[in-house]
Amino acid sequence: MDDAYVVGDPDGLSPLQAEIRDAVARELHAQFALRADRLELADLPEVAYQITRRVDEVLTARPATTPRRTSADR
């Protein structure tokens, strides 16, 4: 069972997933506002790029966790 359900989060997302969801929603809202509530197919690469930037901001703003061991570490 996902920990999000155990702590009572109604949407079942982890805190990181919720942050990413919120960042994506904010950027999509901004992109629709910039483009008069209409996205053309040609706009999708730029929209995807901007969403990726927002997700990167979420991930780089989080405190560093302990690095995972890989097979190269053995």
Contact criterion met (CB below 8 Å) for 5 and 12: yes
Task: Give the domain ranges of the chain.
Answer: 14-61
Total residue length of the chain = 74
Contact criterion met (CB below 8 Å) for 23 and 57: yes
| pLDDT tens per residue across span 21-59 | 999 999 999 999 999 888 899 999 999 999 999 999 999
Contact criterion met (CB below 8 Å) for 60 and 21: no
pLDDT at residue 4 greater than cutoff 60:
no
pTM over cut 0.75: no
pLDDT band at 1 (very low <50, low <70, confident <90, very high): very low
